[in-house]
Structure 1
């Protein structure tokens, strides 16, 4: 057998691999290698410069990025021989150019790249470090440029995702400056656990918890609010359980991969941006403006007296401003590049005495050690402070006070500084002027990555990730308030540490001229530790804002720790670069389950077929349907976070009695045989490029079956326990997603791009013991057999046979009464007078889950001008408006105004107050989510590469029939099952933003 130089080189590399941890820092290079300079120009299909294109020497660590003029230059230190230059960019088809490196040390190659409207040639990350062309995937994956997030006007990453792809529902839960945002990919996949996707930043699995540290769900923050959107290079979103075969079962709800910006070889580049945003209340709600009040509380007495009415909205809301500043420095040499940034955000809320301030910094260094080893290190830190107000949901607050008050009371303090009592909650101005609620957050995210290519076709990647976050909530209520004379103070601290260690390898081999084989394997270990501490005190000393001045103190502390592990093996065969078949198996485990059930196997299979690559297609349909891909994927995943670290155990609570410690038996019996919920998903889809790739279409149908849902089963009282969690429930999701993108006009100077998305999902839960149980909205939101998760189940109107309201003899609406049949269905009953009789009846009166969501985006570019407009639509979701209910009864709302004007019978509002159906409202809306325009100046001054001026607006208007401020908000915050409740929440503001970005 003849031993070639290449074989000997591979043997030497294998030997080196065994000891690379000791040697890689030296970064040696073979003496025989030569440094080559590769340069050229890249143009798009219209002949214009293609900037931001990644140029890489295939199979090595050497690469560069094109500048504004489409020029690139890179230096590669390699052996002489044949190589391939690979040109990649979002929206353009990947281009490969073969080159020969010999004695000539400077090589010039100019290329023209074609449109790739569906991104089939795009290379995506399908696991920790695993690169795959999108055309090979049987499941859906979408990419979003970082510029789309940073220019959206949102202050955090998740808000900027809204409307950017099909099958994603983004909900901002309140209009506070740092309000939490809920993200669902497709639908809920569990009842008691979280349906949030898995978030990964540069390979680090990050914490996006939404912990309430102030005792009010309406001001709960997401931890992704710690990250500046301007640091983002791109985001990749993967939906479906099929992807979890590589990422693990923690990704059963989908994956959001966030990639931050990196440096590139060349002279240092400084980017500076600053912006000013102007926030305002988008809409005022109707209130009682009638200058009268009832003379008596007797509803039969219609006498009125003059009264002064106050618009409390003008007293608590304000127009505010904010600023967002960012600076970055990037550059590097042939083997080392770096990126560093710092950001500062300060934004006042539209509710007085609210504010959010964030500072953050990022550093990333990439080091090429030789032609087969590279390393990368990155770290990010941020600190934030928010000034909050207790507001809405299940607690007191400024806006709840307004709801519970007859607006004839002037809230201004008297000459001695005493605030008048408005209701059983504190005075609204007392909140603003004397209460102190604030949150402080500290965050560090770091990663170390090693990439090795020891032999042709073999790639090894190791990632070590660390995420450390701490949230501190402080609240202070002074002594002497109108409803809490003793005052109180509270401090809550939540500390969370997360680690992940991922080792992955892939081997790519051409078995023949037709068949290509890619084998991928990996192992992952993850852990997280959380500590919760809280101390509260009441009966404060005068002037003291901390608990050490309290007469009564209570403490609470809890700790949790859990770990996850998993390994996978995946095999893909590519046939003629048009048919791709993939099979995978994964083992996942979690410490939260019993030792006999914690390890579970999950398989995956997928297929992708580029039919348009066949000759029969090219000869017949190719001119009109340029590309046509059929894909299918099937996979299983578990839910490793549906229960807490110790929920499988019978957890006894500690108690102190007469100075002696003891334990209290729990009401819930432990169950060591619990196993993860199992999700099985089947997905079909087609991708098409039409009319010279001017139109792209993606269609996807999916079906998810979730079994072994972890739900509580009621136990016999003789057991001594009330319930036990068991694997008893099932859930199904069926949905359809469509994305269409078109470029009706495309010339060198002008282009017009239209993108539309449409998503629908039908969710049903079953096998719930006792038919249903409450999960939020004061128990009005339920999980009920045969119904979507979170439907509203409560009282409804009594009606006549023709559907009209059955009124009382006094002309008031009333709740339906009667009995329940054997199937649990309500049966109305009437007495001799034709009035309702029997017990109060309840039924499903609303569903917060929308029928469909859709987005329409128009982008126009003319030379250096750009314009973007995005409409988001949510149709069919119901809202349970507690705001409307309170306004019915307490005098400050429009219903009382109608009664005072004689337009309705006095007492109508009080009657509706007791009928939940009366405050179910249609939450359908169409929002102008984003509107922006910009102008780019290239090389306006010496030493200045570009200056970009931007003007944007966010949430400018909403088309809806909702009586309140905003149908999008949610009082249960990031709750999985309880959606659509609104009570005293700050509305999402209208934002106008002016900005400038300069590159030096």
Structure 2
């Protein structure tokens, strides 16, 4: 029965939910019992029982047996005769009862104090007790003599101890001759003897070498010096120095090989994160996120959001980025895109800590777009009328064109001379100073092996564009309890609620606030005197459109998200070095989006208003168990082995309802039934994953290191014969600096060669991709309709995983006691068996089927250097620089290697292309050569064009411009990117300066489509002032003509600009108050700071910001259409702990 039950839990069939909930209830009950026991640990220790059967055995051996079976330690002096022989035969007796028998009719008395059993003769009992525990005190300082606040001071081998106060001082009772262990993050730990000492001064030295730093890896931890793979870290100290409001900001620029691009400057705008390039075409390229051991479901949520977007950055302790196969293969089928491990904060030191963090910010627009003012627009309108007589004399004679001066009679807009009454700057009217605030309070307590904590936070942020905002409420609880020497339990639970109002998503007809900022006529007011909004349609002959202010106010789109992330665990020490860990985790996400576009908005496709409601639910459960064994032997060998299994179940559901045509705006989206054409739809899916994994680490004399991992994954998404796949990896390292022949090279403190190879996969395809799908169909029989269900996509039972192989070579160098650290990696990554649509015979009734075809490669180089330039008592200066290069190439596609057009599809065709031999998602369009000149009139006529028209390249010289002339015109993926950071400290002041750069990337600014070719029907960029004239024929802007005669829907090279940039990313100046001042008001730590984000930008790009992408599309980095601008944010903040 046990065997069958275990198989049931780990099968690929749909899980028995009743059984699952039963397991959860039992696990929760056991956890609560354990928690209860942790508070009863003292009374429990008083009742510990032992079983001993010894005959004529020395007393000290009986003591050893009791120590083995309990947590007690015996304390006595040489006056106690421990060689006396006794006989004991007890079974499950309390320790106190055993001691009573041992010392009956003797001169020995005992006393139990905590986990110590103190023995003394009746004559010197008080003397022994006095010697047993005595008061010590001391201070912990750094190399500069400054107090180290919050250092851990513990009696070695026990949990007895304290943490240093704001002066670095500590005081507590210790056993005689105790040895203290003193530690603090960033410093080398020390052991200090208390023999014959009652007052101590302990100096902690800064850990510049940091080779023994413990880093998080999949299912465990390792010393940094033992790593064979490629990874990067972002520590709590780096996060604390900067103003971070999102996970993307926390990671941006901190780790080489990680390309982060933001899709919008609005509050809540998502960051697109790519580790070592794109590895897939049809499935996700997002990395795998693991938070405190819980794998987040990466299924795309509303508007391309990700579960990691809702993690409170103030709760993050560290981020580890796993990049090569040696590091990621332990996650097998989900490791192809890299893995990001997030560890959240726990208790701080010993005792209780209350911390409050707050900041207040204001965001401003760094740069304005150059658009025509009222006088310039009207001048061009007059010019367009004058040009009409030249380019269309027949139409002129027929009266097709009217003098625009004749229509400037609206007294609300023009005076009696036809001069405009207003000159409105729509950027000033629509973009504001954006205020923000953050508050976070946390309480934690640590005592011995037990700790718990609670934090609550709030983030409120206005967007630069009016009406846009974000509000996020978060809470988190954690608990860890060491119940016994062999059992530790704990867990955490976090909750977040976020509501955001967005103004940058596309509306009907492609109308957005950003677009109307450019196209709204500059001589219109925001409102007329009667309070009604002005719009482009108030001026005859214009393309209809409301002002950006009205669009922002009357177009209401809100997104509400609730997330819950939790885990409970039990860690059991079976034998010294042998541990078992069991973790149950859950990630639950509910999203609701509401939309209403008012009746007064002038749409192209939805008159009289439109509304919709969308609901998404995503649940993910996982249960993992693994055993770890570690052993050092023969003073040369180190071995760590780990083996485990994992089960995960994910279910998703969604529903949507919409309607158009409302009588009024009163109900908005709250009563869709009153619309004239309501619609509804819903869907649901579920899938499961079973996994078995193992890892072996071996080291010889800390010089020769080997890591081997393996994972077997099975997924319900794939065909019956291909559900399981094996993902192995191997990595090796040679620490050359540990060799004897390197000893003369004293300047080299670390030199390590690394190499690895392995396989990973990508399983994030549809839940039923291998099974095909059914759809609803309607057909007509005679005069009546009949509906039914039929096959809508073909099944493929042979469908299997995408696989990515990766080879990596790395070199780590440390110089001058590791004050200079360099890391270099080169890699080649190849993805095969990509999931793509392949054509099928027309006789099948279908056009395509999903198959494993196609391949893609990424190769690159990563370099980072960290230097401690100066460090002394009053001043320190540290520099970090990293740079990454990646080259992506499509190797093969489906049969025939036909091009793929992934979108987004804006205007008349796709804007990017996937083509063999090219980077994935390259921009695709025509090449604009300029404009036709007067001396080219005859040639232009062959294309039905005339001088002043745009001149596109006839690539195949067939006398016509069509799809055959399109070509790759740019790419959004950069050739290289990185950061350059400097941090300074002068006494109590600290300064951080972060610079970010990117080069070799382009921006496809489709905004130019509307902002430069609608000169007769809407406002434009000022670039149209350089339009073609007989005197100015060497230009990229067509002749100004009325009624939108220059309108085009073609994407061409003129829309592509150099997107390279150098950005001042962070500038932070802080001051930490001296402890001798703060202690007077019972404050442990107090820091104030001011910061500027995005404090400068150097780029050739003419738009708001070159760092753009469309997060709802996989290959849209560098594509923008009237994007939301990024703010320059000024912030002041406070960190205080008690």
TM-score, L = length of structure 2: 0.78
Q: 1:918-997 alignment to 2 at 5 Å?
A: 918-939=1054-1075, 940=1078, 941-970=1080-1109, 972-997=1110-1135
Cα distance in 2, alignment partners of residues 22 and 582 from structure 1:
38
1:668-713 CA distance string (max 9 Å, x none) = 4221111111111111111111123221111111111111111111
1:55-82 CA distance string (max 9 Å, x none) = 78999888976665556789999xx999
- What secondary structure is seen at the aligned counterpart in 2 of 1:183? strand
Moved more, 805-814 or 220-229: 805-814
Residue 684 of structure 1 corresponds to which residue in structure 2?
809
Q: Tell me if 1:228 matches 2:312.
A: yes
Q: Is the 8 A contact 2:143 2:873 kept in 1?
A: no
Cα distance in 2, alignment partners of residues 928 and 785 from structure 1:
37
Which one has a larger percent helix, Structure 1 or Structure 2?
2
Q: Tell me if 1:456 matches 2:496.
A: no
How far apart are 1:492 and its partner, in Å? 0.5
Q: Is the 8 A contact 2:822 2:863 kept in 1?
A: yes
1:143-192 CA distance string (max 9 Å, x none) = 21234335432321222211112111111110111111111112111111
Q: 1:726-805 alignment to 2 at 5 Å?
A: 726-769=851-894, 770-778=897-905, 779-798=910-929
Q: Tell me if 1:320 matches 2:434.
A: yes
Residues 24 and 379 of structure 1: CA distance in aligned 2, closer, same or farther (over 3 Å): closer
Cα distance in 2, alignment partners of residues 466 and 311 from structure 1:
50
Residues 755 and 284 of structure 1: CA distance in aligned 2, closer, same or farther (over 3 Å): same
Q: 1:135-534 alignment to 2 at 5 Å?
A: 135-207=225-297, 210-212=300-302, 217=303, 221-264=305-348, 266-289=350-373, 290=376, 291-295=378-382, 296=384, 299-301=387-389, 308=420, 310-392=424-506, 395-405=510-520, 407=522, 409-410=524-525, 412-413=527-528, 415=530, 417=532, 419-422=534-537, 423-483=543-603, 484-534=606-656
Q: Is the 8 A contact 1:60 1:371 kept in 2?
A: no
Cα distance in 1, alignment partners of residues 833 and 1135 from structure 2:
52
Cα distance in 1, alignment partners of residues 469 and 435 from structure 2:
10
Moved more, 471-480 or 65-74: 65-74
Cα distance in 2, alignment partners of residues 282 and 396 from structure 1:
24
Residue 751 of structure 2 corresponds to which residue in structure 1?
628
Residues 680 and 879 of structure 1: CA distance in aligned 2, closer, same or farther (over 3 Å): same
How far apart are 1:629 and its partner, in Å? 1.3
Cα distance in 1, alignment partners of residues 355 and 692 from structure 2:
41
Q: Is the 8 A contact 1:140 1:239 kept in 2?
A: yes
Cα distance in 1, alignment partners of residues 166 and 823 from structure 2:
31
Cα distance in 1, alignment partners of residues 1090 and 675 from structure 2:
50
Q: Tell me if 1:872 matches 2:996.
A: yes
Residues 21 and 485 of structure 1: CA distance in aligned 2, closer, same or farther (over 3 Å): closer
Residues 600 and 52 of structure 1: CA distance in aligned 2, closer, same or farther (over 3 Å): farther
Q: Is the 8 A contact 2:520 2:545 kept in 1?
A: no
Residue 1024 of structure 2 corresponds to which residue in structure 1?
896
Cα distance in 2, alignment partners of residues 346 and 999 from structure 1:
23
How far apart are 1:626 and its partner, in Å? 1.4
Q: Is the 8 A contact 1:40 1:71 kept in 2?
A: yes
Aligned residues: 947
Residue 204 of structure 2 corresponds to which residue in structure 1?
112
Q: 1:495-894 alignment to 2 at 5 Å?
A: 495-542=617-664, 543-545=666-668, 546=670, 547-618=672-743, 620-621=744-745, 623-641=746-764, 643-655=765-777, 661-666=787-792, 668-769=793-894, 770-778=897-905, 779-798=910-929, 808=940, 810-819=947-956, 828=957, 840-891=964-1015, 892-894=1020-1022
Cα distance in 2, alignment partners of residues 203 and 805 from structure 1:
68
- What secondary structure is seen at the aligned counterpart in 2 of 1:944? coil
Cα distance in 1, alignment partners of residues 1103 and 141 from structure 2:
51
How far apart are 1:934 and its partner, in Å? 0.5
Cα distance in 1, alignment partners of residues 151 and 441 from structure 2:
23
Residues 530 and 104 of structure 1: CA distance in aligned 2, closer, same or farther (over 3 Å): farther
Cα distance in 2, alignment partners of residues 73 and 255 from structure 1:
44
Residues 333 and 104 of structure 1: CA distance in aligned 2, closer, same or farther (over 3 Å): farther
The answer for unaligned runs of 5 or more in structure 1 is: 1-18, 820-827
Cα distance in 2, alignment partners of residues 683 and 942 from structure 1:
54
- What secondary structure is seen at the aligned counterpart in 1 of 2:478? strand
Moved more, 624-633 or 152-161: 152-161
Moved more, 370-379 or 63-72: 63-72
1:890-945 CA distance string (max 9 Å, x none) = 23112322239975677357488745111111110111111111101144242112
Residue 10 of structure 1 corresponds to which residue in structure 2?
none
1:430-457 CA distance string (max 9 Å, x none) = 2223222111111211111112222111
- What secondary structure is seen at the aligned counterpart in 2 of 1:159? helix
How far apart are 1:528 and its partner, in Å? 1.5
Moved more, 765-774 or 316-325: 765-774
Cα distance in 2, alignment partners of residues 962 and 336 from structure 1:
55
- What secondary structure is seen at the aligned counterpart in 2 of 1:584? strand
CA RMSD across the alignment: 3.4
Q: Tell me if 1:32 matches 2:72.
A: yes
Q: Is the 8 A contact 2:504 2:1124 kept in 1?
A: no
Residues 464 and 959 of structure 1: CA distance in aligned 2, closer, same or farther (over 3 Å): same
1:69-101 CA distance string (max 9 Å, x none) = 556789999xx99999584634x55x474989x
Cα distance in 2, alignment partners of residues 754 and 20 from structure 1:
49
How far apart are 1:390 and its partner, in Å? 4.7
Residues 137 and 391 of structure 1: CA distance in aligned 2, closer, same or farther (over 3 Å): same
Cα distance in 2, alignment partners of residues 953 and 805 from structure 1:
53
Which one has a larger percent strand, Structure 1 or Structure 2?
1
How far apart are 1:49 and its partner, in Å? 4.6
Residues 20 and 339 of structure 1: CA distance in aligned 2, closer, same or farther (over 3 Å): closer
Cα distance in 2, alignment partners of residues 451 and 62 from structure 1:
22
How far apart are 1:720 and its partner, in Å? 0.9
Residues 450 and 884 of structure 1: CA distance in aligned 2, closer, same or farther (over 3 Å): same
Cα distance in 1, alignment partners of residues 241 and 268 from structure 2:
18
Q: Is the 8 A contact 2:617 2:652 kept in 1?
A: yes
Moved more, 657-666 or 68-77: 68-77
How far apart are 1:391 and its partner, in Å? 3.3
Moved more, 473-482 or 105-114: 105-114
Residues 838 and 946 of structure 1: CA distance in aligned 2, closer, same or farther (over 3 Å): closer
Q: Is the 8 A contact 2:706 2:731 kept in 1?
A: yes
How far apart are 1:986 and its partner, in Å? 0.6
Cα distance in 2, alignment partners of residues 23 and 416 from structure 1:
66
Bigger Cα Rg: 2
Q: Is the 8 A contact 1:169 1:183 kept in 2?
A: yes
Residues 420 and 43 of structure 1: CA distance in aligned 2, closer, same or farther (over 3 Å): same
